[in-house]
Amino acid sequence: MTRLSVNINKIATIRNARGGKMPDVTAAAVNCEKFGAEGITVHPRPDERHIRYSDVRVIRPLITTEFNIEGNPIQSFMDLVLEVIPDQVTLVPDAADAITSNAGWDTVRNRSFLTEVCSEFRKKGIRTSIFIGADPRMAEGAALCGADRVELYTEPYADMYPTDPQAAVADFIKAAEAARECGLGLNAGHDLNLDNLEFFIRSIPWTDEVSIGHAIISDALYMGLEQTIKAYLSKVKIF
């Protein structure tokens, strides 16, 4: 059964826009779990424009389900992850000035580097997921790097879904099947929302986890956080 992890970066973005502690990112993490989320995701970036490294340290002991830290494995990120020991780390090849994640890893070209990173996290018992595009070769490459899972970058799916759902998901099914054949777990995330989420899960029912932030926080402005999380859970708990 697919698990829902809520990315709380956007809550931190609102806080940072004004300064101070409102809205309270820590309280948001706790409440997301209370409302049914099965994980909390954070993506600290070097400029700390949303989630700060200090937030990660404060939130870690409060999480009772799964804590997932996303990011580019530069040294400061590596040090943070190895310090707080999350349940899962998701490796994302973000440039320092990226507004949001916009591409997956080339796991073939970066095999040596990613193998070393995965090995460091494995020594600490941290599940490692590599963010990839919908390409079976990248899933196979992730397995060779020693990853436990891959996370499929789903923006292309979300873009095409309104006009042709079957075509939108086709490449993702192929990549997901390749990951399964390699013995990898499967996560997905980026631009999944209440309109396109259920179709994705029905098409790839062995998806272990979806990580959703922007859409959940946006919907919560109108529906409230508790009702929004319940709505998203209804889209993933379909089997």
From 38, 43, 50, 66, the catalytic residue? 43
Whether 116 is catalytic: no
Q: What is the longest distance spanned by two Cα atoms in the chain?
A: 48
Whether 50 is catalytic: no
Whether 83 is catalytic: no
Q: Which residues pair with 186 in a beta bridge?
A: 150
Structure-block tokens of residue 144: 């060779």
Label each residue of the chain as H, E or C.
Answer: CCEEEEECHHHHHHHHHHCCCCCCHHHHHHHHHHCCCCEEEECCCCCCCCCCHHHHHHHHHHCCCCEEEEECCCHHHHHHHHHHCCCEEEECCCCCCCCCCCCCCCCCCCHHHHHHHHHHHHHCCCEEEEEECCCHHHHHHHHHHCCCEEEEECHHHHHHCCCCHHHHHHHHHHHHHHHHHCCCEEEEECCCCCCCHHHHHHHCCCCCEEEECHHHHHHHHHHCHHHHHHHHHHHHCCC
From 33, 38, 70, 209, the catalytic residue? 70
From 33, 38, 190, 209, the catalytic residue? 190
Active site residues: 43, 70, 190
